[in-house]
Amino acid sequence: MTNSTKNRIKDRIFNFIGIFATLIGIIILGFFIGSILYDGLTRIDWDFLNSLPSRKAEKAGILTAWSGSLWIVIFTFLVVVPLGIAAGIYLEEYGDKSKLSSLLEVNISNLAGVPSVIYGLLGLEIFVRLMNLGSSILAGSFTLALLVLPIIIVATREALKAVPPSIRAASYGLGATKWQTVWYQILPAAGGGILTGVILAISRAVGETAPLIVIGALAYVPFTPSSPMDEFTVLPIQIFNWISRPQHEFTINAAAAIIILLIITFIMNGIAVYFRNKWQKKINW
């Protein structure tokens, strides 16, 4: 056997392993989605979306849960996006390479690995008690914003880094200030990458349960929120609650609620992807 046929065989083997690794994730995901759809799809109707929780599985609905999730996601988005992008710009463009900024960098990467329950405890002390927000939508959004902040910061920095240095040089060469360079050249060019980070962050936030339970998000709320200071529940809490019931009918409800949660995530991601594509088309150097 010559060296080249050996290498060719190795290549084939690696190709095979690669396909296997890719398929395993997709097949498992497909299986999950399939079984959820099979269990829950027929349960979804207008009443299910529009009813309050109930002890009778067939009467129970997710009105308060999905509206709570929507409020939480919107406020988390409003808080975390400006903060995260601003921090990313500072660290990448303005921050000098001092000890302080490298300390900040290490800490931000570490923050991304802190278990979400810990953020819940932090939120409980700071937002719920110290700032006296109570177990409100605002307190929940702030907590989740902290939780997903590192994702956006890291994504922003990576996106800024990927902008070719020649663009910066050209902009400075024409006499632009740093801020003008960032605002008119670099940020638009990095927009796609930043939005990818935002998608990841918001998808993570919409599925979180543990930190919200810790700050006191409820399981039974018989009214939809009307202000950011209202108490709330979210879809993942409702799903968890139903899954842990002994009656089989509640499991079906949980499957149906999971489908709704997936749809909400897909819609939000769809919006972000739409904007990302639109954005990227505008850029032509």
Partner 1 sequence: MKKLLLSLTTLFLMSCGGGTETETSSELLSGDVKIDGSSTVYPITEAIAEEFRAVQPNVKVTVGVSGTGGGFKKFSRGETSISNASRPIKDSEATACNENNISYVGLSVAYDGLAVLVNPENTWVDYFTVEELEKIWNPEAQGKIMYWNQIREEWPNEELRLFGPGTASGTYDYFAEAICGKKVGTRGDYTASEDDHVLVQGIAGDKYGLGFFGLAYYEENKDKLKLVGVDNGNGSVSPSMETVSNGTYAPLSRPIFIYANNTAKDRKEVKEFVEFYLNNAGALVEDVGYIPLQPKEYEIEKAKFKSFITK
> Rounded distance, CA 83 to CA 214, Å?
24
Output the six-digit token pair for 203: 């998808």
Cα angle 22, 27, 29 (rounded to 5 degrees) comes to 100
Q: Counting contacts by CB under 8 A, is residue 34 touching partner 1?
A: no
Judged by CB under 8 A, the residue of 26, 113, 130, 248 near partner 1 is: 248
Binding mask 202-231 for partner 1 (x = CB under 8 A): -----------xx-xxxxxxxx-------x
Residue whose structure tokens are 């108490």 = 231
> Rounded distance, CA 87 to CA 150, Å?
10
Neighbours of 184 (CB within 10 A): 12
Q: Counting contacts by CB under 8 A, is residue 55 touching partner 1?
A: yes
Q: Counting contacts by CB under 8 A, is residue 234 touching partner 1?
A: no
Output the six-digit token pair for 127: 């937002």
* C-beta closer to partner 1: residue 241 or 253: 241
Question: At closest approach, how far in Å is the CB of 136 from partner 1?
Answer: 12
Question: At closest approach, how far in Å is the CB of 129 from partner 1?
Answer: 9
Judged by CB under 8 A, the residue of 243, 273, 275, 280 near partner 1 is: 243
Output the six-digit token pair for 235: 């879809």
* C-beta closer to partner 1: residue 240 or 275: 240
Residue whose structure tokens are 């702030």 = 142
Binding mask 102-141 for partner 1 (x = CB under 8 A): ---------------------------------x------
In single-letter form, the type of residue at position 118 comes to I
**How long a stretch of residues is the chain?**
285
Q: What residues line the site for partner 1 (CB under 8 A)?
A: 52-56, 135, 213-214, 216-223, 231, 237, 241, 243-248, 251
